[in-house]
Amino acid sequence: MSDDRWNTVLVLGGIRSGKSAFAEALVADAPSVRYVATAVGGEDDPEWLARIEAHQRRRPQSWSTEETGADPARLAALLTEAKPDDTLLVDDLGGWVTQLLEPARQPNDDEADVAALAAAVRGTSARVVLVSPEVGLALVPTTPVGRAFADALGATNQALAEACDRVALVVAGQHVWLKADSSEKSDSSGAAAEAGGAPASATAAASSAAGSSAAGSVAAGSVAAGSVAEADLVEPQLVAPAPAAEPTAVPVAASATTVPNEPTQLLPVIGGGVAIEPGMDLPMPDSDAGPDARDRLAGVDFAGIGLGDLVEAVEFAAATQGTTIPRPWESVRVLLISGAHDGGAAAGDDPADAERRVAQVEHGEGVLSRLAGQAGADVAVLRVARSGAMEDGPVTDEAAVDVALRQGWRLAEAAADAGRDLLVLASIGVGTDAVAATLSSAITGAEGVEVLPRVQLPGGRYDDEAWMVRCAAVRDALRRIRQEPRGAKDMLRQIGGADFAVAVGALLGAASRRLPVLLDGPLGIAAGLVARDLGSQARHWCLLPDAGKLALVVKGADVLGLNPVLDLGLGLGEGANALAALPLLRTAVGLAAAAPVHPALLVEPGDGGASDLIVPNDDDEIDFAEPEPGGPGPATTGADAGEE
């Protein structure tokens, strides 16, 4: 099975439905594709030739073409011979069935040919996308030949739908996933079975698919380059890292996170329309619970001044939980978004190293997985579509942005549906820092060079030449987009790309479900700035545990009104910083809930003691309460009262 959790996909659709464009989007992230053409003839039909030429022009030059021609058995042979690193796109099975029914081949056991093709699909080690016309929605043909074709194609579609990992239906350029793999269906939420998931690449692809004939494509697990489509709302790989073992007389370097023993599950994505547009009316945290929780801490029985700056975390927990005495977060999900950007933004980044780190997380290894295991968190790993060079033009299309936003929204919903009470946004990507700096500069007006992080190489060295290349890319991108006002979604299309759009959607979706989010890095802060222009309430559901040392994070958080809870200067990677600080935040919230009120402040009505008289106010001064009628006045002592 491929990295994005699928090997074979069947794409169904009517004439001019956009099925071919969608299928092409599913494999857009492959380095090379073998396009298998099944159509033959048409030399005397200009309109038919024009259709074929349109398909040819749409294919990248890196693709190769093979024709099965008049030999239907050749298709099964191609699938059987394909290697694990091959990607094949078969377009379409209607032409294959036509040759199967060719009078010159009769009599022939057509059912055996269909069974052989289905077996080849099941057994292939390559990634394969098959396109086929859906004939089941049309009228029954009036001719024997037409009925034979419809019957044969219908039987072929059924056999291949059963053999393929995924099945999608495309109608009017919009797609719906009809079939998800068994691992998704086994997810405890059951959502996958309800809606059918989208293959990792498929999701990204979806948008592109719709994008080719209308624009866009996005993928989960792995997405198509630069565009995104709908029903292919991505399914990230969901990993539950085991808690790291405590080092026992073993060098620290030798103590590593245990690889999960249980099989990896896929996070299901549920379809449905979510209108993500400026001016969204999202819920707000409780405006009273937070301040009341802070006030309550003034009277808690701490030996010293109390929780210090950690009070910020307690107030946030109280507001987002809607209670004066909040509980520590118990069930955490980390959403790790892995994207890549072309052009100068990627200067100095090593794609192989980024891929290595993502693979580590998928196997429950590395710093992020270790911290997640200690926090009892699971990690949803989402690979998204590659984005273009921001200095050259739009990095993706409008449809891809819409699909990625909805994808992120549903990932947040999935976390809430799974009972998670905290979401941590994490990122491992290529070119992410430069893109985040460009978005931050465009939205806040900060100088791009001022907020652009330096390029650090392994060993602590800095690559200043790569940083200058990034500076030029940021400059050119800002110059290109500043010619006219840009809305949030246009900023994502022009600069952000799929990874930032998914992050924005996740922040908005989390706010819609009252799910608090921890941010700690460039992608999360930039996504927060963009999300603010779609739903201003989203930022109130975010907490910044530590700002680290990046000016991009510090300045962006200031614009968002997020005050760092701690000043640790962490640089463990986006998401890992928040997880490292999480135990301390949990401790603070737990102490605030468990610590009793100081005995001197307990009020016993009618005892006439000092506890009846003093109430701490917000300025930590002492006010005198109004006395009971007939009791001692505020300035009198017990002896004075007796004399009265």
As annotated, the active-site residues are 574
632: helix, strand or coil: coil
**H helix count then E strand count, the chain:** 23, 16
Cβ 495 vs Cβ 477: under 8 Å: yes
Cβ 25 vs Cβ 209: under 8 Å: yes
164 CB burial (10 A radius; 0-12, 13-18, 19+): buried
- Pair type for strands 378-383 and 332-338: parallel
| Neighbouring C-alpha atoms within 13 Å toward the C-beta of 410 | 30
- Pair type for strands 332-338 and 422-427: parallel
Cα angle vertex 346, ends 342, 349, to 5°?
A: 140
Tokens 């896929």 -> residue: 266
Amino acid residing at 346: A
Cβ 497 vs Cβ 341: under 8 Å: yes
Residues 236 and 265: their CA atoms lie apart, in Å, by: 9
Q: Which residues contact 456 (CB under 8 A, 6 or more apart)?
A: 462, 463
438: helix, strand or coil: helix
Residues 289 and 558: their CA atoms lie apart, in Å, by: 23
Residues 289 and 586: their CA atoms lie apart, in Å, by: 18
Identify the bridge partners of residue 11 per DSSP, sorted by sequence position: 131, 168
Cβ 387 vs Cβ 473: under 8 Å: no
* CA neighbor of 556 nearest in space, from 402, 443, 417: 443
Question: What sections of 494-637 are H helices per DSSP?
Answer: 497-512, 522-532, 551-560, 576-594
Cα separations in angstroms, 313 against 302, 319, 377, 572: 17, 10, 19, 21
Amino acid residing at 341: H
Cis peptide before 567 (omega within 30 of 0): no
Tokens 């791009």 -> residue: 448
- Rounded CA Rg of the chain: 30
Tokens 């009628």 -> residue: 629
Residues 449 and 424: their CA atoms lie apart, in Å, by: 28
Identify the bridge partners of residue 333 per DSSP, sorted by sequence position: 378, 423
* CA neighbor of 524 nearest in space, from 429, 388, 424: 424
Q: Which residues contact 206 (CB under 8 A, 6 or more apart)?
A: 22, 25, 26, 168, 175, 198, 216, 217, 218, 219, 224, 228, 229, 230, 231, 232, 233, 403
User: Over 338-372, what HEC string results?
Assistant: ECEECHHHHCCCCHHHHHHHHHHHHCCCHHHHHHH
Cis peptide before 291 (omega within 30 of 0): no
φ, ψ (nearest 5 deg) of residue 133? -70, 140
